[in-house]
A and B are shown apart, each in its own frame.
Chain A
């Protein structure tokens, strides 16, 4: 996985709360066996008019926000389904960092597995940032994961909290699966013990024949 260390990027404001994953990536675009091909369908229902042309009123289509890599959003961003297609689309479009007062749990986790940093800041700070972005064409923020800070153009520094393991994994671009497999002894020991304690958990049996 690609590491995330620092980012200085143009900010796009999406001033809505409870943005859900059906809005980020509508389900009709999930019929694929690939991890790519989602950049053009990000926010599809808001982004395109019924005739398929870009909706000029939607923030993603406004010239001043082209090339943004930081998305500023309202409370409970990413709620709804577990679809990883949502962060795939967000990442492929070019966002590397999301800032909101809160994120839904599954989406938050999914971001880390895709080198996207979700930053949680107080609602009052996010509101100030919205006002500044909208007032300033070319508004950029600077994000430093190691220092856990977001710095505004005027030099104000906002510190954010992040789990230390998630932080290190992102800084290093850690292969989570490889890391867990490096503890294979622990897993095998657990399984051996558990098989004694709760044998019914090991009963399901693989590849049951089909029943017509």
Chain B
């Protein structure tokens, strides 16, 4: 019987499948960080349980830590954050785990370093106590975010109890027009299909547009699958994938690499595989996207205006639009390009890889950040930071007036002191424009790295195709 890629990975990981019980699914890699793991390790201590596979469990500091250059423990903003950090360090020691701490050259945002170091490989199941774990799906991985109780479950058993999700194929066809990126595709897809379209499903992104995306672009797309409500996002591995993985430190080497590639080539969905749902999206006419509201589905073309709630017939949706405009401090009919920004954040597991920084740098080169705009570039990993410095990207950003930071989640989740104040408006390359996400009362507009950099220079949103 023909199978989808997800079916193949699922079937290869079933440890126990008895009718009336949850399926016991084996987990190949478990990534842990300082914010959602302390209670899980405490649970192991209380019950006297061990970590079943320390070799498959990798820890990293990313959510709470400072990103200022030359950071030290003294830069951690408060005692509570410090306790999360020292607790992670202690747990890594006690349970014999690899930890990338604040000073490690391999440190970075958990979803950046997994693929970057070759920890994430096609055909795997991978979990992390973080919803953007969907990012890893770009390599053909069933990767899901889990809660802390489940983190404890995986630490103790290397398994997860799951009900088999449904499958969805989102076929994206067309050639990406100049000025648009994987981020614009992701926002457009969510704008078209809604923030709940993927609920209960694993989304496979397919089609010519996806095939032509780099691995980094595919990661941006899969990262945002959770914003479409999906349990996971995936892209079938291909030559682009194998070339990306080859030579990475944790990846198999030599003969074992060839053996792995032979297995990975079997992963793609069979041509006649049946999905529970199918959607088609064409991007031939895609424009750069800007969110105007308080969820990623509230998005429009940069050339458009803020929508008028009065034109929405569904009362609940109309009410949602009204609330969003109120929170965002926007008027119906206001042109997107007239919206001024106070802050620009280039970073997060969505858009902080090298390609993202290269795209952003193109629009910053030889320019100056607009007066009164605060602009941050927070590379996704210390490795990205190092290469960006070697390529001269860091100099471009610094000379333009951007702050050049060390790696971490930073202003995407606003736990480490990098945050918006009440009413402050931000062009952000992150993934969530929720109320208060980047700081209480902060107003977030999600955009691509190129659009963010251009907004920093202009002081308001601009159509980068006009530059």
Contacts and interface: CB of A to CB of B under 8 A. Distances in A.
A109 B15 CA distance: 20
Interface string B1-27: 000000000000001100011101010
A204 B29 contact: yes
Interface in A192-211: 194, 198-208, 210-211
Contacts of B36: 82-84
Interface in A77-100: 79-84, 87
A210 B58 CA distance: 13
Contacts of A201: 28, 56, 121, 124
Contacts, number: 216
A35 B83 CA distance: 14
Interface in B190-230: 195-196, 199-200, 229
Given A82-B147, A180-B157, A198-B263, A102 B84 contact: no
A181 B15 CA distance: 12
Contact of B64 (A31, A84, A102): A31
Nearest to A180: B157
A207 to B, nearest CB: 5
Interface string A60-78: 0000000000000011100
Interface stretch (A6-14, A133-141, A161-169): A161-169
A188 to B, nearest CB: 10
A204 B119 contact: yes
Nearest to A103: B199
Interface stretch (B305-313, B354-362, B428-436, B450-458): B428-436
A interface, by DSSP: helix, strand, loop or mixed? loop
Given A105-B199, A166-B22, A186-B24, A81 B153 contact: no
A55 interface: no
Contacts of B21: 165
A18 B323 CA distance: 12
A17 B434 contact: no
Interface string A131-172: 000000000000000000000000000000001111000000
Contacts of B133: 82
Interface of B: 15-16, 20-22, 24, 26, 28-29, 35-36, 38-39, 42, 47, 49, 52, 54-58, 64, 78, 80-81, 83-84, 87, 92, 96-99, 101, 103-106, 119, 121, 123-124, 129-131, 133, 144-150, 152-153, 156-159, 161, 163, 165, 195-196, 199-200, 229, 231, 250-252, 256-257, 259-260, 263, 295, 316-317, 320, 323, 413-415, 419, 422, 432, 434-437, 440
11 contacts: A27-B413, A31-B35, A45-B436, A84-B39, A102-B199, A105-B231, A109-B146, A163-B22, A165-B21, A165-B163, A204-B56
Interface of A: 16-18, 20, 22-23, 26-28, 30-35, 45, 50, 74-76, 79-84, 87, 102, 104-106, 109-110, 113-114, 163-166, 176-177, 180-181, 183, 186-187, 190-191, 194, 198-208, 210-212
* Shortest 4 CB-CB contacts between residues of A and residues of B: A113-B149, A33-B38, A200-B252, A84-B147
